[in-house]
Structure 1
Amino acid sequence: MTTLTTLKHKLSNRLFGGLFNKLDRNLIELNTYRDLQNIFNWSENPILDRPDIYDFDYVEDVNDRRIRDAESLATVIRNIKPKIALEIGTANGMATVLMAANAPEAKIFTVNIPPEDIHSGKGGVLTTVAMERDQIGIEFRRRNISNITQIYANTETWTPDIGTIDVAFIDGCHDTKFVYNDTNKILSHMKPGGFILWHDFNLDLAKKYDWINSVCLGVECLYRDKLLNGRIFHIRDSWVGIYQMPDK
């Protein structure tokens, strides 16, 4: 496994020119979630049980971005019917609620960094929101959803011990080293043919927003180090990259 110290040196040499050669080569742009259904021969439509996807709070929410995000995640979850699903980056738990709605029989584990690690600077820089402990996961606790297990851990040092993962949704710290590390450490725990999804992934917006650029660079480095191999799918206007593990 590549150490974070070694990774920092590697990344420092990758910030100049040709940033996304591997992603450019492997990315497949889709018009709607129905294209995703066609590719994988799926028939179930996503359950969009997440009311905040219709909110418009920021200019970045144009083109129904939140709806496209929900469709991306829910379509995968709904159709693969996972036994074990992992979310990295719980926040208020709305995405976790969406996962549970589309996989009510799954065991869903959601990991969020403890607030004290954020306040002490151990949680990276590009974190969407730093919530207090009682607010993390509040949405699924309000609904008393029984198939969700909440974990407080800094993924820089956390070791997955939840069994074989069918689908993972990575939306924690968006620093490149965290995206790389979070993905790398779960690869050996993923089910062959399972799915990894990254939030804040949109190659067209990588030049506009630092956090999206950082996420895309993390995924690019995983391809360059041959930890990922194969196509990555992206539904137009979403901020979600979708990757299927090799079916060994």
Structure 2
Amino acid sequence: MEKDDSPIFRYLYSNHRPKRHLEFGTWQGQGVVYCLEESEATVWTINLPFGEKKEQDRAAYSYNREQIPQIQKWLERIGIIPKAVQSTDSVGFIGRLYLEAGLGNRVNQIYCDSREWDHSAFQPGFFDSALIDGSHKAEVVISDTQKAFELVRPGGLIMWHDFCPPVMEKFEVVKGVTSALVNNWEFLNQEVSPLFWINPSWILAGIRK
């Protein structure tokens, strides 16, 4: 996302110009930064407070060797003791990048499982755009998609990350998202039109009917 899909997201935000944007899956907030820097939007973004786990309770998201100096600097700044393996999608790291950029005043960070998120306070059509980039499990992808359909206005932009049919067998995250959407293709087309994959990116996008 940070290298190949970044200019596409920036282009979409700079042209759509959302005022209110919804994002499923914050992680460190890179996607949120794209939206904030390319528009005047206020962003609502959702993430599990303690991150995703793999088998044997291992962190699903950590950092690579090149990021260690930057990560350690951030940990010192917020007063967290470094660990050998640090979960980068848990409290303390969630939204780190939009906070470092000084953009936190335009973000409403929500900590919960998106399937349990009570969105009744938002009227239908409240949001101008939404990005679904949270859990890669099929049932969560569809749950987040249904919520986005309820909350994004007609003419609004809805995007899914990690959709790329040619490589779905190579990457587990792509397989989960792509299979979930392909298996519900008729349902998607009832709610968004046109619906298009930006080849060869990992982005699927559509305009809310």
Letter in 1 for 2:176: S
Given the alignment of the two structures, is residue 78 of structure 1 paired with residue 9 of structure 2, yes or no?
Answer: no
TM normalised by structure 2 equals 0.75
Contact 1:93–1:139 (8 Å) recurs in 2: yes
Most deviating of 190-199 and 213-222 = 213-222
Given the alignment of the two structures, is residue 110 of structure 1 paired with residue 45 of structure 2, yes or no?
Answer: yes
Task: Indicate the residue corresponding to 1:195 in structure 2.
Answer: 157
**Aligned in 2, Cα 1:128/1:237: closer, same or farther, shift over 3 Å?**
farther
Cα distance between partner residues in 1 of 2:52 and 2:198: 31
Cα distance between partner residues in 2 of 1:106 and 1:162: 16
Task: Indicate the residue corresponding to 2:201 in structure 1.
Answer: 238
- The percentage of aligned residue pairs carrying the same residue is 26
Letter in 1 for 2:91: R
Cα distance between partner residues in 1 of 2:7 and 2:122: 26
TM-superposed CA distance for 1:220, in Å, is 2.1
**Aligned in 2, Cα 1:86/1:235: closer, same or farther, shift over 3 Å?**
same
Q: Deviations over 1:186-215 (max 9, x none)?
A: 211111011111111111112322221210
Given the alignment of the two structures, is residue 141 of structure 1 paired with residue 141 of structure 2, yes or no?
Answer: no
Task: Indicate the residue corresponding to 2:189 in structure 1.
Answer: 228
Task: Indicate the residue corresponding to 1:87 in structure 2.
Answer: 23
Q: Deviations over 1:160-183 (max 9, x none)?
A: 344511111111000011100100
Q: Tell me, what secondary structure is at the counterpart of 1:207?
A: coil
Q: Tell me, what secondary structure is at the counterpart of 1:134?
A: coil
Letter in 2 for 1:94: Q
Cα distance between partner residues in 1 of 2:136 and 2:197: 18
Identify unmatched segments of 5+ residues in structure 2.
63-86
TM-superposed CA distance for 1:227, in Å, is 4.5
TM normalised by structure 1 equals 0.64
**Aligned in 2, Cα 1:128/1:220: closer, same or farther, shift over 3 Å?**
farther
Q: Deviations over 1:13-63 (max 9, x none)?
A: xxxxxxxxxxxxxxxxxxxxxxxxxxxxxxxxxxxxxxx93xxxxxxxxxx
TM-superposed CA distance for 1:99, in Å, is 1.0
Given the alignment of the two structures, is residue 153 of structure 1 paired with residue 112 of structure 2, yes or no?
Answer: yes
Contact 2:48–2:90 (8 Å) recurs in 1: no
TM-superposed CA distance for 1:87, in Å, is 1.1
Q: Deviations over 1:69-97 (max 9, x none)?
A: 11222222111111110111111111111
CA RMSD of aligned residues (A): 2.5
**Aligned in 2, Cα 1:99/1:234: closer, same or farther, shift over 3 Å?**
same
Task: Indicate the residue corresponding to 2:144 in structure 1.
Answer: 182
Letter in 2 for 1:228: N
Q: Which has the higher contact order (CA 8 A, sep 6+)?
A: 1
Contact 2:141–2:180 (8 Å) recurs in 1: yes
Q: Tell me, what secondary structure is at the counterpart of 1:198?
A: strand
Task: Indicate the residue corresponding to 1:170 in structure 2.
Answer: 132
Cα distance between partner residues in 2 of 1:240 and 1:120: 25
Contact 1:180–1:221 (8 Å) recurs in 2: no
Q: Tell me, what secondary structure is at the counterpart of 1:169?
A: strand
Q: Tell me, what secondary structure is at the counterpart of 1:172?
A: coil
